[in-house]
Amino acid sequence: VNFAAEYWDNVFELFLEEYKAGRTPNPDILCNKEIKFKAFLEFAAEDLGADYIATGHYVRRADVNGKSQLLRGLDGNKDQSYFLYTLSHEQIAQSLFPVGELEKPQVRKIAEELDLITAKKKDSTGICFIGERKFRDFLGRYLPAQPGKIVTVDGDEIGQHQGLMYHTLG
């Protein structure tokens, strides 16, 4: 199943708009909200007749008073609840998070015992669609540089910058 168009419209374009506006977005949160737990979840339910999807997110789910709640993963070092905070109770109810009940070393051991190629895979970090490129080079392909002055609160110019999109405010 190809969700490239949905990704472009609902994740990537918003990512660029946020940078253009001087804010630093987290595309993983948008991807989870719009692609994995919306487009894919709808496809799985409607086209495949699936009651649930299962993901490898390090989170847990609990049903409290008839509503599914998202809980932190058991492994505090790998917890990914922050990346899923936008999910609705309904989306959580239709999702299973089996590795959220385990510590990362346990998951690696299980993968090794099953001879899975992911057993020795390096943990993913960074933004998936950028890969090994330098972030500044990547952003420059989509947003033109907007150089400006760096000015103190007293109005003294102390330098130049290539564009606010290359800096995180705060």
Maximum C-alpha span of the chain: 64
37 CB-contact burial (10 Å; exposed 0-12 / middle 13-18 / buried 19+): buried
Active site members? 31, 128
Contact 87, 38 (CB under 8 A): no
H-helix segments, the chain: 4-7, 13-20, 27-31, 41-46, 89-93, 104-113, 135-142
